[in-house]
Structure 1
Amino acid sequence: MTTTTMTTRTQVSEFPEVADPSRVAPKDARELSKLFFQQLAVLEEGTREYSYARNTLIEMNMSLVRFAAGRFRSRGPEEMEDIVQVGMIGLIKAIDRFELSREVEFTSFAIPYIVGEIKRFFRDTSWAVHVPRRLQEARVQMARAKEELSSRLGRTPTVRELSELMSLPEDEVREAQLASNGYTSASLDAALSPGEDGESALQDFIGLEDQALELVEDFHTLAPLIAQLDERDRQILHMRFVEELTQAQMGERLGISQMHVSRLLSRCLARLREGMLTTH
């Protein structure tokens, strides 16, 4: 019997008896985990004993995954199953990378791995804009169909060709293509490749400045000032700027001279202008 075999058997005999690791209470799991990590550090990877220690650690610490996944319970029961499975990957990575020499609790070490794996899952699978589930599924199906047809035809497939392979109406294929634009998003501040004019941001190429936008604030400021005018002044403003009457037409309707209309209008506009300047 070799020295290695004797050492391994001695180490295995030091494993605590754990009938059902998944039912171990979190408090007990913390203490037991230390013992199993001690054994895992000296066992040879790939042996039956190593696998037993590693698998027991995974089962004992599943409560950490459920705890971390609880932060995302608003996602719904169907997605929670995926979240727990992804969290288990994080737990396994933490177990494989943990060392007792770090002098830190395994719980504190594992949670960031678990949460990080879950967040990575959301980053890779979540849509930037909410679309119906049927379109999400159609997008995945369309991606596979595009890959297959592109490989077979040596070119980008048409909507009709995708429709035939996916067994979907052409309208639904077009809808899925449109919906796929909502899968990812980019920041308007995202830097583009440097060009002749230097580095540019995405926002430099999207949208136009609305020249009338500045008028919105002016209109909000002007409304209460107009409300303070008397009935005749408001009537004069309405005839001039809404009905677009000439001063002569306004004078005829009001029964006053055109010159009188001009003085009244000038006085009214001066009052409004002063009010605007004072408010700003």
Structure 2
Amino acid sequence: MTDPAEAPASSARSSGRSSRSASEYADVPDMFRRLAALDPDSEQFRRARDRIVERCLPLADHIARRFEGRGEPRDDLIQVARVGLVNAVIRYDVETGSDFVSFAVPTIMGEVRRYFRDNSWSVKVPRRLKELHLRLGAATSELSQRLGRAPTASELADELGMDRQEVVEGLVAGSSYNALSIDAGRTGDDAPTIVDTLGAADLNLDQIENREALRPLLAALPERERTVLLLR
């Protein structure tokens, strides 16, 4: 339980951080006002919007760093956070009077959280195998360009200077990354989804227990009575 005496201090720290962030970007509202005065289809509009994004890149990078150490590459987190920043810049309306930082932070964090949701490991995998998965991904991409085809496990092992069995282990672990949804289709728009190939639920399953319980009772009845019951 949080100590009530600490709550004001925590609130004050949070408020202080928000105030500092807002003051660091105090010039951004004016940049948005100048943007709003431009023709949205003009080159000047695009350049002005790009300047706002560049001005606020430190905010996106700061948020990305808060998610480090969770198994995803730092560069990927920064890229995703910057995508969130661009979305925030596009959607922000300066006329609402709301602070841009207060609007942008949840937008950027939402983008990063969505990235984790869509690119998470479906089962618990040792950190060593996660790192190997990243190395194998880079090596596979490079060898594919060099060979003109997907590399074999032996070729990956030679490229990375490791045992083939270790490469196979890493490839198997990689199958736990970003598990395929059962609603995902195969190749082609008209291809059936995985869920389409699954059997339908048997509506009689719930009656199995009842039938098994009645079986010895029916067997104990005289043949005539048993026949009458079965014909009903």
State the TM bucket, normalised to the shorter chain. 0.5 to 0.7
- Maintained 8 Å contact 2:153/2:167: yes
SS at match of 2:121: coil
SS at match of 1:182: coil
- Aligned equivalents of 1:203 and 1:25: distance in 2? 51
What's 1:25 paired with? Answer: 16
TM-score (norm 2): 0.56
What's 2:128 paired with? Answer: 134
TM-score (norm 1): 0.49
- Aligned equivalents of 2:97 and 2:79: distance in 1? 27
- Maintained 8 Å contact 1:30/1:106: no
- Aligned equivalents of 2:87 and 2:78: distance in 1? 15
Deviation per CA, 1:149-189, whole angstroms, max 9, x where unpaired? Answer: 33333443222222222233222222222232232333333
Identity fraction in percent:
24
- Aligned equivalents of 1:139 and 1:31: distance in 2? 40
The runs of 5 or more residues in structure 1 that have no matched partner are 1-21, 44-49, 234-262
User: Partner amino acid for 2:211?
Assistant: L
Q: Are 2:70 and 1:79 equivalent residues in the alignment?
A: yes
Q: Are 2:71 and 1:113 equivalent residues in the alignment?
A: no
Point out which structure has higher relative CO (alpha carbons under 8 A, 6+ apart): 2
- Aligned equivalents of 1:112 and 1:202: distance in 2? 34
Summarize the Cα distance change of 1:32–1:209 in structure 2 as closer, same or farther, 3 Å threshold: closer
User: What is the CA RMSD across the aligned residues, in angstroms?
Assistant: 4.9
Q: CA deviation at 1:33?
A: 6.5
- Aligned equivalents of 2:167 and 2:183: distance in 1? 32
Summarize the Cα distance change of 1:37–1:224 in structure 2 as closer, same or farther, 3 Å threshold: same
User: Partner amino acid for 1:37?
Assistant: V
User: Partner amino acid for 1:175?
Assistant: E
- Maintained 8 Å contact 2:84/2:109: no
Q: Larger % of helix: which?
A: 1
- Aligned equivalents of 2:215 and 2:206: distance in 1? 15
Q: Are 2:28 and 1:37 equivalent residues in the alignment?
A: yes
User: Partner amino acid for 1:135?
Assistant: L
Between Structure 1 and Structure 2, how many residues are aligned? 197
Q: Are 2:216 and 1:222 equivalent residues in the alignment?
A: no
Q: Are 2:222 and 1:264 equivalent residues in the alignment?
A: yes
What's 2:116 paired with? Answer: 122
